[in-house]
Amino acid sequence: MVLRQNILITGASSGLGEGMARQFAARGRNLALCARRTERLEKLAAELTAAHPGIKVVTRTLDVTEHDRVFAVFEEFRAELGSLDRVIVNAGLGKGQRVGTGRFDANRQTLEVNFVAAAAQIEAATGIFREQGAGHLAVISSFSALRPFPGKLTAYAASKAGISAYVDGTRIELKRKGIAVTDVLPGYIESEMNDRIGRNPFLAKAETGARALVKAIEAERARAYVPAWPWVPLSVVMRVVPAALLRKFFA
């Protein structure tokens, strides 16, 4: 396994991004963290460097929908750390609404953040990796990418299906360039985005989920379901579940 020392994580001020940052810091990795909420980001960086004095943590404010800024920030991080060994495209949004109910604004924003902005991050990261001749791209998609979903999940699932396809194409493109590409499909993990779920037997604790994410990313496989249980077996089931059942539980 290749040691990826300098790791960039977008959307790192809370949720899965924060959890992964804590896990990688405990493993002695240097971190480049970016998010919109600067105060939370800087607080996290201070905590990590205090707990792990041997690592370097650098931060930038970044709204990933500002595409030119994405490219600039990634280059700044590379200059500050000397290289970027792994980029984790994590920033995402889950505010979709039912189609045709007058909330195209929410659905458009979900699609723009989860697909277009993610594609910009992929472009920025792989451009740097091509120049370096090495690197690992990990994109946090979602288990919902496997099937179309009704109700408030329609735009979200579509955005994740789209970005997973984009990641798969990127992997094929870069296979012989010394660049590893991983599509990460988490199930339910405690986070601000999943606060509205309520009681769910499949909801993993935040720390458990973060550990599973980091383990999967470190393995650098083409695709990873996280946590492996129950999402690996459910990935098989999901492909054959009748649409009527999806409508019953999610519409």
Question: Sign of torsion, CA 66 70 73 75?
Answer: negative
Q: How far apart are the first and last CA of the chain?
A: 43
Are 42 and 55 in contact, with CB atoms under 8 Å apart?
Answer: no
Are 46 and 73 in contact, with CB atoms under 8 Å apart?
Answer: no
Helix crossing, 118-132 with 154-174: angle to 10°?
10
- Using DSSP, state whether 91 is helix, strand or coil: coil
- φ and ψ at residue 110, rounded to 5 degrees: -60, -45
| Known catalytic residue at 166 | no
In terms of residues, how long is the chain? 251
**What are the residue numbers of the active site?**
156
